[in-house]
Amino acid sequence: MTNPQWTAVDHYFTETIAPADEALTAALADSTAAGLPEIAVAPNQGKLLHLLASIQGARNVLEIGTLGGYSTIWLARALPADGRLITLEYSPAHADVARANIARAGLDKIVEVRTGAALDTLPHLETEGAGPFDLVFIDADKVNNARYVAWALKLSRPGTVIVVDNVVREGRVATPHPDDPAITGTREMFDLIAAEPRLDATALQTVGTKGYDGLLLARVIG
Ligand code: SAH
Ligand code: DHB
Ligand code: MG
């Protein structure tokens, strides 16, 4: 679902208060040239992630689902020079594009792209003691959303912020879709959060260049 007015307003917001620069523009262009799907967050959504990380005073960020590193760049730019961002990506081809984009943005000292299925690489983060993370951005295969939130909680501290992308899917989230693993996984995530006293959460519907979708925002309270 797209709408010319939503797109025009997103462009207005982006041009006025969330302008692209060379590294962001090139990250998207090279992702497209390499054949990656055009599903990165919109610029104003990337700016939201950046602001959330800044507001949080984040120094240690975890991202699940890198693609070409576009959201990674927005998040990493909010970190101090000695900050750290680990981003998990299943596809080695996507990870290669992301590493080049991140290096061009001058963020390769801060960002580490780890290849593999996140459910296989997350346990290593626990073993290494890589957490607790100050902010976790979940934007990978939606079927595993509940498992990713459970891992985010495991790698968290009181005050950790968790953001999950694409939780509305043109409104489909509101009703069960047994044939759609992405909706099923996202609804399992809402059930998990509803039953989890350590998480305080809300979710918002959004429209824009990415159509009709939304994001979930949670905070670990204990
Ligand atoms: N966060 C990116 C978009 C991510 S798109 C941005 O906004 O710029 C989703 C990514 O998750 C894709 O690159 C896909 O390959 C990856 N992915 C899919 N399944 C995964 C898994 N099991 N583990 C880790 N990454 C996965
Ligand atoms: C899809 C994934 C995303 O992360 C996104 O922002 C949009 C679409 C998808 O898998 O279709
Ligand atoms: Mg997404």
The pLDDT tens digits along the chain (222 residues) read 789 999 999 999 999 999 999 999 999 999 999 999 999 999 999 999 999 999 999 999 999 999 999 999 999 999 999 999 999 999 999 999 999 999 999 999 999 999 999 999 999 999 999 999 999 999 999 999 999 999 999 999 999 999 999 999 999 999 999 999 999 999 999 999 999 999 999 999 999 999 999 999 999 997
Which residues does 174 contact at the CB level (< 8 Å), separation at least 6?
Answer: none
The length of the chain, given as a count of residues: 222
User: What pLDDT score was predicted for residue 44?
Assistant: 98
Nearest CA to ligand 2 atom 6: 39
The CATH number of the domain covering residues in 4-220 = 3.40.50.150
Ligand whose nearest atom lies closest to the CA of 212? 2
CA 213 to ligand 2 center in whole angstroms: 10
**Distance between CA atoms of residues 30 and 60, nearest Å:** 27
Task: State residue 78's pLDDT score.
Answer: 98
Residue 143 Cβ < 6 Å to ligand 2 = no
Three-state SS for the chain is: CCCHHHHHHHHHHHHHHCCCCHHHHHHHHHHHHCCCCCCCCCHHHHHHHHHHHHHHCCCEEEEECCCCCHHHHHHHCCCCCCCEEEEEECCHHHHHHHHHHHHHCCCCCCEEEEECCHHHHHHHHHHHCCCCCCEEEECCCHHHHHHHHHHHHHCCCCCCEEEEECCCCCCHHHCCCCCCHHHHHHHHHHHHHHCCCCEEEEEEEEEECCEEEEEEEEEECC
Ligand having the closest approach to the CA of 165: 3
Cut 0.75: pTM above it? yes
| Closest-lying ligand 2 atom to the alpha carbon of residue 142 | 10
Tell me, what's the pLDDT at 47? 98
Among all bound ligands, the one having the nearest atom to the CA of 66 is 1
89: β partners:
115
Provide the pLDDT for residue 103. Answer: 98
pLDDT score for 180: 98
166 CB near ligand 2 (under 6 Å): yes
- pLDDT given at position 95: 98
| CA-closest residue to ligand 2 atom 10 | 141
Would you kindly state where each structural domain of the chain is located, as residue ranges? 4-220
In this prediction, residue 90 carries a pLDDT of 98
Phi/psi of residue 25, nearest 5 degrees: -60, -45
Report how far ligand 2's centroid is from the alpha carbon of 165 (Å).
8
Report pLDDT for 149: 98
